[in-house]
Chain A
Amino acid sequence: MNRKSMKLKKISHGVVGLALSCFTVFAAQAAEPKELFFYNWTDYYPVDLLAKFEKETGIKVTMDGYDSNETLLAKLQAGGAAYDVIVPSQSIMRTLINQDLLMEIDASTLPNFQYVRPAFRDPSFDPGRKYSAPYLWGTTGFSYDSARVPGGKLDDSWKEFFEPRKELQGQIAALDTSSSLINAASHYLNIDECSENPQDAKRILELLQKQKPFLKMYSSDNTVDRMASGEVIMMQNWNGSTARATLQKNTIKYVYPREGVAMFQDNFAVPKSAPHPGNAKIFIDWMMKPENAAAVSNAIAYDNGVQSEKLIDEKWRVMDAINMPEAFASRLRPEKECSNKARELQDRIWSKLKG
């Protein structure tokens, strides 16, 4: 018995050594100066463009994806995940700044900031662009198939969507995202989308309940194909996914309703814990070069915040959905970060509507 346990002991030593070496191999990860950790929405950046950046600057980029602003916030709050560049939407920017999670990068002092469009230079969520630089932006309006509506044209109004004509009833889809639908209804009713007044909430709920029987579905999935395949004639939609649908079926049109259309902006920012802030600034500056900003727009089908109109592919440039006519600029309503009270009201509208 004793001899055997001796044997086992010796064997154990050998195995322990092997197991330990498993760990030490990875502990020896040295910090590489020429690298950048990029944390972005999944599939929201063309991979070829990273290769170009690498070639021009010698900085190797590692890109990971997240699914929502909430995931990004959780990763940053937990700490330990050392990313250099992140892509928060404007709706989460104040939270990130207030929680002291972002590094001041003074984007306006970067050389290529001169190419940023005036409308994107001084946003309310980050006055003076101290913490962020613009990435892509888009709108949540609605799209329709002009070949299948009477007269071939719909009015530029949310009325077409919320109080649809007879011919379209039952052929309509709404986004299954509470904020998107409530924002649109608020704009139509000329109510502040962050209203804390229960009377306003009641009016919004009534409008949505009246619309509900005319809808085929609430869904935020497969928006491109739902339009292109003709599953519905009209749907609440993002401009980018409308443009992709138009590419498949050229009778699909996008509407910027005159009552107001919600606008979302995504931004580049640098977390306070970034291990390579210098590289992050190089990357953000590089992304404000018109040719690089345009390369993203051409691949992702959303417009960017840089003066790059001339470099946008012809196929997108001819579409109102991507190349917004200047006259509609006054219809844009940047998404706001509502108070908790307003959000509670929205949750109640949503659960009553869907319940």
Chain B
Amino acid sequence: MIALHLKKLPLTREVSLLILAYLYVPIFVLIAYSFNANRSATVWTEFSFAWYGRILANPSIQTAALNSIIVASIATVCATTIALLAALATYRPFYGQKVVEGGINLPLILPEIVTAVATLLLFMALGIKLGLLTVIVAHIGFCIPFAYLPIRARLNDLDKSLLEAANDLYANPWQVFRRVTLPLLWPAVLSGSVLAFVVSLDDFIMTFFVAGPGSTTLPVYIFSAIKAGVTPEINAISTLMLVISIVLVVLAFWLGQRGKQQ
């Protein structure tokens, strides 16, 4: 109802468009200049794919991209597994349920800088050398809620009678999970894992703090390269990351929708 009233307010349309423009124009400008033949980020000359060729041939960018993919893949698998487990363990009402769920979702609410500093201090206290391992462990931590939320939502909608029917037909617990629960949850597991992947791929703050030798990811590379000047190379990498993220988020959304329809 409130939404209907809001729509009728004067200038709503104009203000919304302005806000959308404010949010998206810089991104479109960034994409447009990644196709600029000129090296200067401010002067347009002609259309070119040269910068994409350059970044694909740059070994530092290749290493950073590989690190990003390794970190995101492992963090996704681990975080989704943990999230699935957590969702299965928490979806039935129990004493303290809200607190436990709040704990799982805490990384969404806490300022990332706080989590990052805390994680760094933890690694220091444990005497763990920083590197790819610490980045992966830290990423698993903040990826869990992104995988947890869709799975948990799907569990709520699950038709409990299907599980009971399986029990009545003498399916053992593993069979029920494998043949009934998991297939029903699968779209949510996939969409949760894709979200976790995107979040891990884009993360800068946490990575910057806990990175050690050999763990430069793409966002960290972009940050450190920008001091030497914003070249269309940076625009090109950013555009590629943007495209990958959008594709994955659309995929996650589509999987989630498909799950609902089934």
Could you tell me which A residues sit within 8 Å of B by CB distance? Answer: 3-8, 10-12, 15-16, 18-19, 22-23, 26-27, 29, 37, 39, 42-43, 47, 62-68, 71, 78-83, 220-226, 229, 231, 275
Q: Can you add 17 more A-B contacts, CB < 8 Å, to A26-B136, A82-B212? A: A8-B173, A15-B81, A19-B82, A22-B140, A27-B133, A29-B131, A37-B212, A37-B214, A42-B225, A47-B60, A63-B60, A64-B211, A65-B224, A80-B129, A81-B212, A221-B41, A222-B42
Q: Are A71 and B224 neighbours in the complex by a CB distance under 8 Å?
A: yes
Q: Are B124 and A8 neighbours in the complex by a CB distance under 8 Å?
A: no
Please name 10 pairs of A and B residues whose Cβ atoms are closer than 8 Å in the assembled complex, sorted by A: A22-B81, A26-B132, A42-B221, A63-B60, A65-B216, A65-B225, A79-B124, A80-B129, A82-B213, A222-B42
Q: Are A12 and B59 neighbours in the complex by a CB distance under 8 Å?
A: no
Given A64-B216, A67-B226, A71-B224, A81:B78 Cβ within 8 A: no
Q: Are A11 and B88 neighbours in the complex by a CB distance under 8 Å?
A: yes
Q: Are A42 and B81 neighbours in the complex by a CB distance under 8 Å?
A: no
Cα-based distance from A65 to B211 in the complex (angstroms): 11
Of chain A, the residue at the smallest CB distance from B230 is A221
A219 CB to closest chain B CB (Å) equals 9
Given A8-B88, A64-B211, A225:B60 Cβ within 8 A: no
Q: Which of B88, B89, B129 contacts A82 (CB 8 A)?
A: B129
A171 CB to closest chain B CB (Å) equals 16
B69 CB to closest chain A CB (Å) equals 16
Q: Which of B42, B60, B85, B215 contacts A19 (CB 8 A)?
A: B85
Of chain B, the residue at the smallest CB distance from A28 is B133
- Interfacial chain A residues near B214, Cβ < 8 Å: 37, 62, 64
Q: Write the B216-240 contact mask toward A (1 if CB under 8 angstroms, else 0).
A: 1000010111111111000000000
- Interfacial chain A residues near B230, Cβ < 8 Å: 221-222
- Interfacial chain B residues near A12, Cβ < 8 Å: 85, 88-89
Q: Which of A8, A22, A62, A71 contacts B213 (CB 8 A)?
A: A62
Given A11-B177, A65-B224, A231:B81 Cβ within 8 A: no
- Interfacial chain B residues near A47, Cβ < 8 Å: 59-60
Q: Which of A4, A67, A83, A229 contacts B38 (CB 8 A)?
A: A229
- Chain B, 172-231, CB within 8 A of any chain A CB: 173-174, 176-177, 209, 211-216, 221, 223-231
How many chain-B residues does the 8 Å CB contact rule pick out? 54
Most central of A26, A222, A224, A275 by chain B CB within 10 Å: A222
B123 within 8 A of A: yes
- Interfacial chain B residues near A82, Cβ < 8 Å: 129-130, 212-213
- Interfacial chain A residues near B231, Cβ < 8 Å: 222
B48 CB to closest chain A CB (Å) equals 15
Q: Are B43 and A23 neighbours in the complex by a CB distance under 8 Å?
A: no
Q: Are A7 and B211 neighbours in the complex by a CB distance under 8 Å?
A: no
Q: Are A15 and B84 neighbours in the complex by a CB distance under 8 Å?
A: yes
B40 within 8 A of A: yes
- Interfacial chain A residues near B85, Cβ < 8 Å: 12, 15-16, 19
Q: Are B228 and A80 neighbours in the complex by a CB distance under 8 Å?
A: no
B2 CB to closest chain A CB (Å) equals 40
- Interfacial chain A residues near B74, Cβ < 8 Å: 22
Most central of A18, A79, A80 by chain B CB within 10 Å: A80
B106 within 8 A of A: no
Q: Are B167 and A42 neighbours in the complex by a CB distance under 8 Å?
A: no
Of chain B, the residue at the smallest CB distance from A45 is B60
Q: Are B124 and A80 neighbours in the complex by a CB distance under 8 Å?
A: yes
B251 within 8 A of A: no
Q: Are B131 and A65 neighbours in the complex by a CB distance under 8 Å?
A: no
A76 CB to closest chain B CB (Å) equals 12
Q: Are A67 and B224 neighbours in the complex by a CB distance under 8 Å?
A: yes
Given A12-B88, A79-B124, A222:B229 Cβ within 8 A: yes
- Interfacial chain B residues near A27, Cβ < 8 Å: 133
Cα-based distance from A83 to B77 in the complex (angstroms): 29
B179 CB to closest chain A CB (Å) equals 12
B66 CB to closest chain A CB (Å) equals 12
B31 within 8 A of A: no
A19 CB to closest chain B CB (Å) equals 5
Q: Are B128 and A229 neighbours in the complex by a CB distance under 8 Å?
A: no
- Interfacial chain B residues near A78, Cβ < 8 Å: 120, 124, 209
- Chain B, 79-103, CB within 8 A of any chain A CB: 81-82, 84-85, 88-89, 92
Of chain A, the residue at the smallest CB distance from B175 is A7
Q: Are A222 and B41 neighbours in the complex by a CB distance under 8 Å?
A: yes
